[in-house]
Structure 1
């Protein structure tokens, strides 16, 4: 796993979240996805053997702050603000449906 890149991990599942176990915003995003019945792949950077390398890659992709960093269908969505904007505008659930993350 140590040579796996953010982009490779982001393509392995319909929804991927890069997180830190101590981050309250990360928890909020994970809870939202769980409440929507989305089974996201979560990569806790503080628990991954190559977490610092992944964090560096996320910074290069423009993630600021680095976590949470959300990918849907392999595409970088953004962090908490972007995800909440999508959710409040009614765009998040249809996107999840398009990528097969939910079937409702």
Structure 2
């Protein structure tokens, strides 16, 4: 991901991806960003938005994997980023077993 400050991602990874070291977590910056989008407190979400911008957030949302977002966060971010109209939020990603 272009333009994502690794130091800010490391700080967020420490808080939101506690099961990995920050260096391991930032190897997948989209995972850190998705975790903050889903579970972040107000201050961290505002910092994330200011740091990465709406384009990156849209990209993370469009490539989300099953289980990364709660239904509430999924709807919020679609509305917040202008990706859905009222009552027209796309379904959450689902895991496909083959």
TM over 0.5: no
Higher strand share: 1
Q: Which structure has greater helix proportion?
A: 2
TM-score in terms of structure 2 length: 0.28
TM-score normalised by length of structure 1? 0.28
Larger Rg: 2
Higher relative contact order (CA 8 A, sep 6+): 1
